[in-house]
A and B are shown apart, each in its own frame.
Chain A
Amino acid sequence: MFTPSHFAAVLLFALFASTVFGITQRETPQKMFRYGLYCFALFVGSAIVLSWVMFLIAR
């Protein structure tokens, strides 16, 4: 059984989803790459921000 940490799961999810988003939502390879990076940063960044928000609410 594969048991990644929560953050590793977030990274894997963001990697695969942003790859598909980049390829399907833009037309040229350069724009695809940039949009993929943008989506990856948003996925991971929002997960970190929401984690801190939930941590502070739970305290």
Chain B
Amino acid sequence: MTTPQLTLPQALGRPARPARVTTASGQIALRALRKYLRTPSLCVMAVVQSAMFLFSFRYVFGGAIHAGATSYVEFLVPSYVATIVLFTGGGVAVAVAEDKTAGFTDRLLSLPVSRYSLVLGRTIADSLTNLWSILTTAAFGFAFGFRLPGSWPDGLAALGLCAAYAVVFTVVFVVMGLFAPNAQAAQGMSLIAFVFAFISSAYVPATSMPGWLQPFSKYQPITPMVDAVRSLLTGGSSDVGLALAWSALLVAVFTPVAVVRYRRA
């Protein structure tokens, strides 16, 4: 046994090449996931909040809302699951803004890592946490009386579409966090998602809204996105193409914005 010598990091030498995008994204995602799982106010509260909202819609407002031919719980739960990330995803914007003000983003940007891996790692982690929101929310939906109208494969297809939306909304919230000057502002900015969630066909039939509001509901992305989930549940596929087109458009627009914004965060 010899006494270890040359323990300085300089003695270990510098890495021969920068980290690969996969390694860097993985490390960034791992850190965001650890933070989420080790902060009870993030991982537990997201679930509690989602259950409370669903409970309120289902049992408090639900009785006063007429959803046409189907029962309100049948109408509500699929779209609630599809849009839950619009409520819980504000945490993504807050986390991104916090990283910026706490100097963490500066540290990452000073490292020889690809700027794409910053966005990719963040999106992977937050998509997974948002997927967790979707799964727990779906479970609450069943607990509160929802039953699949169609087959199990149809249900899984609908859930898969909801998962795709989780990725889409994650990218949007990452961009919000990058533009927000601080965490409070990010929280405030994320409320804009409520406008799209509420003025859509997600919680009430769009036809019950006043006429001047209906065009907004009809031509914004959330309505076709939730309608697509509903139609998949019953074995149909109407609106799915439109919903996927909106999803692709949002990702295509917001991803480059995130990468460029990270460069100058």
A, B in one complex: no
